[in-house]
């Protein structure tokens, strides 16, 4: 008869429990079920360990959520050295967007939480460094950083939370929205109704990014 496995210990052929393994399992959970589904107990069941064993690697749910955000940030490539300001900032913005859209259910953790780790400061360094290298005084570089972050956070929060009607994935909903706009009686809204009724998120992102880069460069 096989002896029962002690709680809190993975099978011998499993990866040892580690912070990285916990965070990646948590990210998978968010991808599949959303942020509201995350709990230490549910994550422990997913990893087949005792819930208390998780606390040897993460301090609790808040630390777990911060860690998931750090996993997303760590996936953003470092900018190529030697590129000019416009090329560097464009690459950073597009890589940041791609990382968030790769995990849209987890993206709000990066976009809305105040993170304090060195991993969280890496994107700050990545934006500040080319601004300083281009001759921005530190105060103006910080203004530039905050403008970039405001643009990225705003556009991505809209994109990851967009209803199917707004994104164009619901044709019937789109027709209803268009009809409502055209019936509004507001001249400017009626004129722009076909474009207000749906949002091409990539086109909107590139339009805003171009304006921002023109201003920075």
Residue 179 lies in a domain: yes
Instruction: Kindly state whether residues 102 and 190 are assigned to the same domain.
Output: yes
Instruction: Kindly state whether residues 40 and 98 are assigned to the same domain.
Output: no
CA–CA distance, 72 with 27 (Å, rounded to integer): 9
Q: How far from the centroid of its chain's Cα atoms is residue 110's Cα?
A: 5
Q: How far are the Cα atoms of 97, 110, 183 from residue 198, in angstroms, in the given order?
A: 20, 26, 16
Q: How far from the centroid of its chain's Cα atoms is residue 47's Cα?
A: 24
Instruction: Kindly state whether residues 43 and 133 are assigned to the same domain.
Output: no
Instruction: Kindly state whether residues 137 and 54 are assigned to the same domain.
Output: no
Residue 185 lies in a domain: yes
Q: What letters, b where the CB count within 10 A reaches 16 and e where it falls short, cover 72-110?
A: bbeebeebeeeeebeebbbbbbebbbebbeebebbbbbb
Residue 188 lies in a domain: yes
Instruction: Kindly state whether residues 128 and 188 are assigned to the same domain.
Output: yes
pLDDT of residue 112: 84
Instruction: Kindly state whether residues 190 and 110 are assigned to the same domain.
Output: yes
For residue 197, what is the domain's CATH number? 1.10.357.10
Residue 156 lies in a domain: yes
pLDDT of residue 15: 59
Instruction: Kindly state whether residues 88 and 195 are assigned to the same domain.
Output: yes
The tally of CA atoms less than 13 A away on the side-chain side of residue 201 is 21
pLDDT of residue 12: 47
pLDDT of residue 167: 67
The total of structural domains in the chain comes to 2
Name the residue range of residue 192's domain: 81-216
Q: How far from the centroid of its chain's Cα atoms is residue 71's Cα?
A: 10
Residue 176 lies in a domain: yes
| Tens-level pLDDT at each residue, the chain (217 residues) | 444 444 444 454 455 899 999 999 999 999 999 999 999 999 999 999 999 999 999 999 999 999 999 999 988 888 888 889 999 999 999 999 999 999 999 999 988 887 767 777 888 888 899 999 999 999 999 999 999 999 999 999 888 887 666 666 778 888 899 999 999 999 999 999 999 988 889 999 999 999 999 998 8
For residue 10, what is the domain's CATH number? 1.10.10.60
Q: Is 188 helix (H, G, I), strand (E, B) or coil?
A: helix
């Amino acid at each position: 008869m096989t002896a029962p496995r002690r709680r809190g210990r993975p099978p011998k052929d499993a990866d040892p429990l580690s912070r990285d393994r916990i965070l990646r399992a948590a990210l998978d959970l968010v991808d599949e079920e959303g942020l509201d589904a995350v709990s230490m107990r549910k994550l422990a069941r997913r990893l087949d360990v005792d819930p208390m064993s998780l606390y040897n690697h993460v301090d609790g749910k808040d630390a777990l959520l911060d860690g998931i955000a750090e996993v997303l940030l760590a996936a953003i490539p470092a900018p190529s050295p030697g590129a000019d300001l416009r090329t560097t900032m464009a690459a950073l913005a597009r890589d940041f967007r791609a990382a968030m859209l790769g995990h849209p259910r987890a993206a709000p953790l990066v976009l809305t939480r105040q993170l304090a780790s060195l991993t969280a400061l890496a994107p700050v360094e990545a934006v500040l460094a080319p601004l300083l290298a281009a001759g921005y005084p530190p105060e103006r570089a910080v203004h530039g950083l905050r403008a970039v972050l405001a643009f990225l956070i705003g556009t991505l929060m809209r994109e990851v939370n967009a209803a199917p009607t707004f994104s164009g994935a619901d044709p019937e909903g789109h027709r209803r929205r268009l009809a409502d706009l055209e019936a509004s009686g507001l001249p400017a809204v009626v004129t722009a109704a076909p474009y207000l009724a749906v949002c091409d998120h990539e086109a909107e992102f590139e339009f805003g990014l171009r304006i921002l880069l023109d201003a920075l460069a």
